[in-house]
A and B are shown apart, each in its own frame.
Chain A
Amino acid sequence: MKRAEYKIPGGKLLSAELAVEGDHMVGVKITGDFFMHPETSIIELEKALEGTPAADLEDTVNGFFRENDVTLFGIHVEDFVKVVKMALES
């Protein structure tokens, strides 16, 4: 299991946990004290990343936020990319 924690400048803490099978991310879980409306979007984001090639991380996250009406507060789209990338590199 790969894990990373990232403290966003300004305060919020973001964690990612995942495994890699072949080139693919599995069991992706993102936790932290940020804000995201609607809240259940986090489950959809994790689903979108499930089984995705690690190389497609950034495109998948950006695509998710482009296609879904999600409001972030205390966090930005690139923070999700960053923490998952950190976990992949751990």
Chain B
Amino acid sequence: MKETWRLIDMRIEDAPTQMAIDEAIAMARLKENTPNTVRLYRWSPSAVSIGYFQSIEKEVNLPACEEHGVDVIRRITGGGAVYHDYNGEITYSLVAPEADPKMPADILASYELICGAIANGLAQLGVDAEFKPVNDIVAGGKKISGNAQTRRHGVVLQHGTVLVDTDIRRMFQVLQVSDAKISDKLIKAVEDRVTNLRRYLGRQVGFDEARAALIKGFEDTFDVALQPGELTEAENRLVKQLHDKYSSREWVFQR
């Protein structure tokens, strides 16, 4: 009998809710004895998330976000700024105890394992992807996924982005691009470093198809069955509290 983990499948929520759900699952995991959990999700409205240690003014073009209705949020995890394009990106998260026999104690090894699950999922679609330390997944030498992990409450929480068909021009409008204007040359330079499923495969990849592939990647890598489930009442209560934190100016603008 295969071990079962919970799958919270493709919820579409705003930025504070998504970040609150990830943290709530991590907080509840040991305290409430909830199952190990994988989430796949999309952000509506589209949002910029910045790493815990990043300067919001340095990373985000706030007037442009305002103009385009793009949310801005600070994560509890470190790492870089991500544009979560509602029409072009899937985010995943995984929560498991640090002491889980399937979870390496070493941080780099755990990144490698979890990013390997994403790479295995992408392989289902025909993408030859691999983990690139520190925290990226690359395909054909170009970044296709960025990932960030924290360890707290005795658990590993890792979340990351899988680029499906990102609007690079919009991404540049909402992220601070060092004093240069958004030129075709600059966009070309990024296209040389960053790819997505549509560009890599030369065809449209639907969210359902990408989702199914990622689920298979997690199941194969961790030798588990992902069982669709919902948040518990305790988790939902935490989400409500954490939502207030994530939407507060004190949190988002703290550095």
User: Chain A: residues with CB nearer than 8 A to chain B?
Assistant: 10-12, 15, 29-39, 42, 71, 73-74
Contact = CB atoms under 8 A, between A and B. Distances in A.
B58 A31 contact: yes
Interface of B: 51-55, 58, 76-81, 107-108, 133-135, 148-152, 255
A74 B149 CA distance: 12
A4 to B, nearest CB: 13
B152 A32 contact: no
A32 B108 contact: no
A18 to B, nearest CB: 13
Contacts of B55: 15, 29, 31
A86 B167 CA distance: 36
A10 B151 contact: no
Contact of A33 (B51, B152, B255): B51
A31 B151 contact: no
Contacts of B108: 73
Contacts of A38: 152
A51 B29 CA distance: 40
Contact of A39 (B58, B78, B80, B135): B78
A31 B134 contact: no
Contacts of B53: 30-34, 36, 39, 42
Which of A31, A33, A71: most chain B CB closer than 10 A? A33
A6 to B, nearest CB: 14
A33 B53 CA distance: 6
Contacts of A39: 52-53, 76-78, 150
A10 B58 contact: no
Nearest to B75: A39
Given A73-B107, A73-B134, A74-B135, A32 B149 contact: no
Which of A11, A12, A39: most chain B CB closer than 10 A? A39
Top-3 shortest CB links A-B = A35-B78, A33-B80, A31-B55
19 contacts: A10-B134, A12-B134, A15-B55, A15-B58, A31-B54, A31-B255, A32-B53, A33-B51, A33-B54, A35-B79, A35-B107, A35-B134, A35-B149, A36-B78, A37-B150, A38-B152, A39-B150, A73-B78, A74-B78
Which of B77, B108, B148, B255: most chain A CB closer than 10 A? B255
Contact of A37 (B58, B80, B134, B151): B151
A37 B152 contact: yes
